[in-house]
């Protein structure tokens, strides 16, 4: 099942990377602002770096300092990488990790113009899943992520990898989706809901306990109270983190939640829209800020 999930997520985000969504679309800009990005921040980076995929703004509470090395898990088009790079300055570095080649290609194109139309020099991008981060032990000051850990099939492996790459005293600052109560089976067992950032989320308690088990201390998970229905501001978008612009995406078949088959975006989003019309996602899930420290 984990391979099916990974392939479905990768296929969907490849489609998003080629969609043309950007801050120049009013709905995409509205989603980013709803989850904490300022107009000034969005104007300071390439418009194509923002595709309306966020559920928070981790750079706003990561307390990044000049000279630090920060890693963004699931970096997409580079939105948080570029904002982090400005915070850590020329003596620091911002590193993006993403498993989707199309997203990495987009991020690298954006990096070529991210410094006022010129290349930004203190960023790099690597292709990998976030449960196998291609960085050395104890090499990073801060790990950020934005609405991505909920998509990982093995979240405990992700937590262990974050702990591994962080220096002693390093910190985790993540925006994510977590569950306030159990999802109904119709949502929890649907692959379309999983790639839409809903069915893959774990409970607030599981999130907290998983980080403690991975060796973190000072774990805080805060419900931001953000309205997850803000995603509906993006035209043709149904459900968290799932904009659509007309290319093929994997879709759960009628007979099995584990058997994706190619259909068009309209079918995928009709399915998600139908699910979410029957279930208000805010009743079950929350946009959360997650903070934790690796002990010295």
Task: Indicate the domain borders of the chain.
Answer: 2-13+22-186+197-234+282-293
Predicted TM-score (pTM) of this structure: 0.87
Query: Tokens representing 123?
Result: 């960023």
Strand 249-252 with 260-263, pairing: antiparallel
Query: Tokens representing 263?
Result: 């259909």
pLDDT (0 to 100) of residue 259: 30
Q: CB–CB of 17/106 below 8 Å? A: yes
Q: How far apart are the first and last CA of the chain?
A: 37
Output the CATH code of domain 2-13+22-186+197-234+282-293: 3.40.50.150
Residue 265 has pLDDT above 50, yes or no: no
Q: What mean pLDDT is reported for the chain?
A: 85
Query: Tokens representing 11?
Result: 């296929």
Q: How far apart are CA 225 and CA 157, in angstroms?
A: 28
Which single residue is written with the structure tokens 């104007």? 43
Residue 237 has pLDDT above 50, yes or no: no
Residue range 110-116: average pLDDT? 96
Read off the pLDDT band of 37 (50, 70, 90): very high
Q: Which of 21-35, 178-192, 230-244 has the lowest mean pLDDT?
A: 230-244
The tens digit of pLDDT for each residue in 157-180 reads: 999 999 999 999 999 999 999 999
Q: Which of 63-67, 75-79, 118-122, 150-154 has the lowest mean pLDDT?
A: 150-154
The tens digit of pLDDT for each residue in 266-295 reads: 444 456 566 667 778 888 999 999 999 999
């Amino acid at each position: 099942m984990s391979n099916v999930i990974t392939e479905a997520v990768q296929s969907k985000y490849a489609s998003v990377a080629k969609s043309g969504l950007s801050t120049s679309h009013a709905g995409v800009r509205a989603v980013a602002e709803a989850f904490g990005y300022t107009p000034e921040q969005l104007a300071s980076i390439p418009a194509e770096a923002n595709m309306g995929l966020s559920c928070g703004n981790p750079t706003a509470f990561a307390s990044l300092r000049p000279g630090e090395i920060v890693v963004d898990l699931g970096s997409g088009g580079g939105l948080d990488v570029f904002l982090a790079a400005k915070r850590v300055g020329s003596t620091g570095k911002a590193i993006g990790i993403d498993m989707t080649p199309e997203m990495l290609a987009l991020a690298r194109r954006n990096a070529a113009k991210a410094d006022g139309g010129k290349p930004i020099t203190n960023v790099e991008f690597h292709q990998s899943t976030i449960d196998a981060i291609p960085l050395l032990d104890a090499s990073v000051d801060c790990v950020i992520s934005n609405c991505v850990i909920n998509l990982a099939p093995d979240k405990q492996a992700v937590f262990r990898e974050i702990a591994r790459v962080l220096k002693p005293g390093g910190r985790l600052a993540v925006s994510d989706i977590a569950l306030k109560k159990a999802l109904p089976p119709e949502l929890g067992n649907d692959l379309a809901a999983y790639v839409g950032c809903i069915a893959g989320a774990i409970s607030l308690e599981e999130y907290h306990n998983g980080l403690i088990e991975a060796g973190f201390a000072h774990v805080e998970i805060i419900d931001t109270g953000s309205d997850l229905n803000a995603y509906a501001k993006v035209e043709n978008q149904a459900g968290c983190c799932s904009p659509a612009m007309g290319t093929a995406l994997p879709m759960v078949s009628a007979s099995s939640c584990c058997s994706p088959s190619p259909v068009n975006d309209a079918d995928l989003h009709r399915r998600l829209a139908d699910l979410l019309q029957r279930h208000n996602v805010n009743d079950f899930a929350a946009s959360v800020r997650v903070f934790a420290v690796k002990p010295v």
